[in-house]
Structure 1
C-alpha cells in the first residue's frame, strides 16, 4: 500500500451507484492516508446498489458537484452502477468536472458503466479504455478503443470493467497517486 498522505481525491456519484465501486476505492485511499470526498448533485445521502437491482446502504455525501474545485484535488474517481452512470452522464457539472481532470493530466479513474460520462463529455475519441462489456460498442462508437482487460491505463486515464476488477483498479489509482 502506498503512502498517500496529503493527497486529495474526489469521487462523483449519484443515486444507484454500485456501492463497492465507491466504497472500496474510498476506503482503500483513506487507509493509505488520502483525504477522499464524495460529491453528488446534493448533499443528501445517495442510494448504493449491488448489481443494479439490490439496494444496499445509503452513502454519505460530503459536497455537491458545484462545490468541487478540480484544482483542489489530485485525482477523480467515477464509479459505475447503470442508473448512476446514466444519470450522471447528462449532468453538465459532472461533464465539466471530468473535462477539467482530463485537461489537467491528473489521474481520472473510471469503472464499469462510468465511461458513459466520458463519452458524453467528448473524452473517449482516440483513447484506449475498458468498461462494463455492455457499453463496449458505445466506447467504439465514440472513437475509443475498447479492451477486455481488468485495468487499462492510457496516460492519466485508468479504467476497469466491473467490481471484480476493483483490486487492480485501486492498485492502479494508488500507483498513479504515489
Structure 2
C-alpha cells in the first residue's frame, strides 16, 4: 500500500487537506499528516479568516522520514504556505521528495514553497 503524506503548519485550507485526504483513502492509499507546528494539533481554516476544525498530525517535521512516503501533498492557505516557505526542515523534506522523483502535489498558495526551495527555478508553472 502506498503512503501519501501531507505537510502543513496551521491555518491551512481545510478542504485542500480533508477532501483530498478522504479521496485518497477511498482509493486505498494510506495517508498521514506531517506538521511543522511545534505540537501535533493543527488548525484548519475556511478561507483566510474563519477558523474551522482542528486535526491531529501523525508526525512532527523533525521526525519525518522521506523514505516512508511515496508522495507528498502541500495544501494551501495563505498563512500555512507562507509559514512553510520559511521553514528549513520543511524545505529538506520537499527537496528530498523531489530529488527522489516522487510525486509532489501543491495546491492553491502552496506553489510559493517551490520558489523558496529552488524547485521552481527554470520551470514553467501554472497556479491559481
Q: Secondary structure at the match of 1:129?
A: coil
Question: What is the aligned partner in structure 2 of residue 126 from structure 1?
Answer: 122
In the alignment, structure 2 segments of 5+ residues that lack a partner are none
Give the TM-score taking structure 1 as reference length.
Answer: 0.69
Larger Rg, first or second structure (1 or 2): 1
Give the TM-score taking structure 2 as reference length.
Answer: 0.94
Q: CA deviation at 1:130?
A: 2.2
Tell me, yes or no, if structure 1 residue 78 matches structure 2 residue 74. yes
Question: What is the aligned partner in structure 2 of residue 100 from structure 1?
Answer: 96
Contact preservation (8 Å) 1:16, 1:81: yes
Query: In 2, Cα distance between the equivalents of 1:43 and 1:108?
Result: 24
Q: Secondary structure at the match of 2:127?
A: coil
Q: Give the CA RMSD over aligned residues.
A: 1.1
Deviations 1:146-167 (A, max 9, x none): xxxxxxxxxxxxxxxxxxxxxx
In the alignment, structure 1 segments of 5+ residues that lack a partner are 1-5, 133-178
Higher relative CO (Cα under 8 Å, sequence separation at least 6) belongs to: 2
Question: What is the aligned partner in structure 2 of residue 27 from structure 1?
Answer: 22
What count of residue pairs does the alignment treat as equivalent?
127
Question: What is the aligned partner in structure 2 of residue 140 from structure 1?
Answer: none
